[in-house]
Structure 1
Amino acid sequence: MRIHVADHPLVSHKLAVLRNKDTASPTFRQLVDELVTLLAYEATREVRTVEHPISTPVTNTVGVKIADPQPLVVPILRAGLGMLDGMTRLVPTAEVGFLGMQRNEETLEIHTYANRLPDDLTGRQVFLLDPMLATGGTLVDAINFMIERGASDVTAVCLIAAPEGLKVVEEKIGDRADVKLVLAAVDERLNENAYIVPGLGDAGDRLYGIVD
């Protein structure tokens, strides 16, 4: 597995505002959208292309276009939805699937409760979206979910990650060259409740409000 941590002042600035507990939901949503667009630039660096003949105002030439099958963007519900527009803005031809995964706060086990994906992902490049990589369990299950269905290339885009979660993903996924992780930052640690420190709180609640 390959890991890329974005090193850019705009990423650092926007992430700092996201962390601020006084940042309101509308601003939080906008900043997540902007951050994901910046991360998507790195995440899509190896997107497959094919040559494509075009005519400019001056002459005929050959350019490139994204190859078929089109990339598949998969937000992990619900917080991953807040990252979807930022990703598809950069890759508007991508198809979109949805994966609902929830962590039991007591056992930390992952439960898949929603799946709107093709059964056969053979040859597909998949981009998983999840704001936070905490314990690593959700991301490991999501990556394996895609690989088991034949995905040939999986890139996970997360805003922040805990070192403990990164270690779990590296141990479970191993040295697969077809799996990549793109992050805005690696934080200090997990606390006793498995929350990322310093973190940014519950991304889903900060994006959409608290739903009882």
Structure 2
Amino acid sequence: MTTQPSPFASSPIVLDHPLIRHKLTRLRKVETSTAGVRRLVRELSLLMCYEATRDLPMETVEITTPLETMQAEQLAGPDVCFISILRAGNGLLDGMLDLVPFAPVGHIGLYRDPETLEAVEYYLKLPSQISSRRCVVVDPMLATGHSAAAALTRLKEKGAKRLLFVCLLSTPEGIACLKEHHPDVPVITCAIDRGLDEHGYIRPGLGDAGDRLFGTK
């Protein structure tokens, strides 16, 4: 999977695979149904997971094929976990768990205050041994960056040391926010959009990711 460099402060990895670009275009369309949105997000998350798990540690084991014994590589233990920022982050879990079905999953519930646009926490449930795991934090949208920054702060408070943030869409504002508060956390995204409107929504974006995933208004 190829990547393109970004000029923005935190140097996010912008995934540039043709399949990702194609599926993201279909996802953005206003006429795409709820079922279509769910399918596309699942497919995109699977492709994003490929990049997010690129450097997981490996170990060599002896196996027997139908023809002979050989030395082969496998993942070195349950090193990774996924953390979903509720509620829209759950839409990214299915594809990732298709690839890494043994990974434990944590959830952090945040909502955006409509006046201040700041993140307010209402739920937190995390896997055990979080300090020794790679924590892949997922949320479809990196808009203002406040929710993502708040989630990463809480995870660090709980002991997380190896963090990665994965999103479908991002903005220069959101990237700058994470750069300011969490310069040590890499960001993987499918696109960096133009920016935010007066309500804090990504433009051109794809609408409200949670509403489009779950068929709500």
Query: For this structure pair, what is the TM-score category when the shorter chain's length is used for normalisation?
Result: over 0.9
Q: Which deviations, in whole Å up to 9, do the C-alpha atoms of 1:107-127 show, x marking residues without a partner?
A: 111111111114652211111
- Identity over aligned pairs, percent: 43
Structure 2: give runs of 5+ residues left out of the alignment: 1-9
The answer on whether the counterparts of 2:105 and 2:127 sit within 8 Å (CA) in structure 1 is no
The answer on whether the counterparts of 2:104 and 2:127 sit within 8 Å (CA) in structure 1 is no
TM-score by length of 1: 0.92
| Equivalenced residues, count | 208
1:14 paired residue number: 23
Structure-to-structure mapping, 1:96-175, within 5 angstroms: 96-118=105-127, 120-174=129-183
Change (3 A) 1:24 1:112: same
The answer on whether the counterparts of 2:195 and 2:203 sit within 8 Å (CA) in structure 1 is yes
The answer on whether the counterparts of 1:119 and 1:149 sit within 8 Å (CA) in structure 2 is no
Change (3 A) 1:66 1:152: farther
Q: Which deviations, in whole Å up to 9, do the C-alpha atoms of 1:161-189 show, x marking residues without a partner?
A: 01111011111112x2xx22111111011
1:79 correspondence with 2:88: yes
Tell me how far apart the structure 2 counterparts of residues 15 and 56 of structure 1 sit (CA, whole Å): 40
Tell me how far apart the structure 2 counterparts of residues 95 and 63 of structure 1 sit (CA, whole Å): 25
* Aligned counterpart for 2:193 among listed residues 182, 187, 193: 187
| Cα shift at 1:140 | 1.0
Tell me how far apart the structure 1 counterparts of residues 11 and 173 of structure 2 sit (CA, whole Å): 16
| Cα shift at 1:157 | 1.1
TM-score by length of 2: 0.90
Q: Which has the higher contact order (CA 8 A, sep 6+)?
A: 1
For residue 108 of structure 1, give the secondary structure of its aligned residue in structure 2.
coil
For residue 97 of structure 1, give the secondary structure of its aligned residue in structure 2.
strand
Instruction: Provide the aligned C-alpha RMSD in A.
Output: 1.5
